[in-house]
């Protein structure tokens, strides 16, 4: 019989990217310290904890560890004039944008308590998003060979990405995660080649539906779908 895992939820509001990145690293290191102790003392009465951080960021571009600098189409001075920060970070994936109106989620999970399969983990994250936007009548899908959630991925010229994903995993503990465009200002994506894919569009829930959404309602929907897909109890 599987033990139901619990995930501690934290609503971080609008927080600078670097501050939340550092916090993720802190939680990751805490989990790794527990794993190290258990490796030498299996009887120790300690356990890793799961976390889900939900946040919005001020305008920022982030480039994955194997990303391409040339996909950032504006220079440092131009970014500064627009009030956009820029970080080269340690997740997978290429360049993306985070900003107000975008629901960013960082699951810090010990996959040894779920499944030690990164591909399955990413498919589960995608399923959370597909189910979330499905509640609003938006049909999300996967694009072969490309991580994230798309709309009409198989219709040439109509492919558009609504949620980007990029993760890091250390000793089966995850960090980084997903960025769902809810009421996002999509103009900021015009200054990069989003996710390193030059010939496809980016969209948002607001653009698809023709109106802004209640951000808190979307957030609560996503929490329920996360519980459902990962078979966990989320505690706040």
In whole angstroms, what is the distance from residue 236 CA to residue 233 CA? 10
Is 98 among the annotated ligand-binding positions?
Answer: yes
Compute the distance between CA of residue 37 and CA of residue 41 in angstroms, rounded to an integer. Answer: 6
Task: Please indicate if the annotation marks 67 as binding a ligand.
Answer: no
80 in a labelled binding site: no
How far apart CA 144 and CA 166 sit, in angstroms, is 16
95 has binding-site annotation: yes
Q: Is residue 177 marked as binding?
A: yes
> Is 97 flagged in the annotation as binding?
yes
Binding site annotation covers 175? no
Q: Is 163 a catalytic residue?
A: no
Report residue 183: phi and psi, to 5°.
-115, 30
Q: Which of 182, 195, 222, 223 is catalytic?
A: 195
**What is the SS3 assignment for 163?**
strand
Confirm or deny that 140 is annotated as ligand binding.
no
Within a 10 A sphere around the Cβ of 175, how many other Cβ atoms? 23
Partners of 166 in the beta sheet? 177
39 assigned to a ligand binding site: no
Whether the Cβ atoms of residue 182 and residue 213 lie closer than 8 Å to each other: yes
Compute the CA torsion angle 153, 74, 69, 53 (nearest 10 deg).
-60
* Residue positions forming the annotated binding site for substrate: 91-98, 164-166, 177-179
**Active-site residue numbers?**
195
* Residue positions forming the annotated binding site: 91-98, 164-166, 177-179
């Amino acid at each position: 019989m599987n033990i139901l895992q619990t995930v501690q939820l934290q609503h971080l509001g609008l927080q600078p990217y670097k501050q939340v990145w550092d916090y993720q690293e802190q939680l990751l290191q805490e989990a790794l310290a527990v794993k190290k102790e258990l490796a030498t003392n299996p009887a120790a009465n300690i356990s890793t904890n799961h976390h889900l951080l939900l946040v919005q960021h001020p305008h920022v571009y982030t480039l994955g560890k194997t990303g391409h600098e040339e996909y950032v189409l504006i220079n440092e001075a131009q970014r500064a004039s627009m009030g956009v920060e820029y970080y080269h970070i340690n997740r997978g994936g290429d360049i993306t944008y985070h900003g107000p109106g975008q629901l960013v989620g960082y699951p810090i999970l010990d996959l040894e308590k779920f499944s030690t399969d990164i591909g399955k983990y990413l498919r589960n994250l995608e399923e959370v998003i597909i189910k979330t936007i499905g509640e609003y009548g938006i049909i999300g899908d996967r694009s072969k060979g490309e991580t994230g959630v798309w709309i009409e991925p198989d219709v040439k010229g109509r492919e558009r990405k609504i949620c980007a994903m990029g993760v890091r995993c250390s000793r089966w503990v995850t960090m980084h995660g997903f960025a769902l465009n809810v009421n996002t200002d999509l103009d900021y994506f015009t200054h990069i080649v989003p996710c390193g894919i030059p010939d496809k569009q980016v969209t948002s829930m607001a653009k698809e539906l023709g109106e802004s959404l209640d951000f808190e309602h979307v957030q609560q929907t996503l929490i329920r779908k996360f519980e459902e897909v990962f078979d966990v109890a989320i505690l706040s």
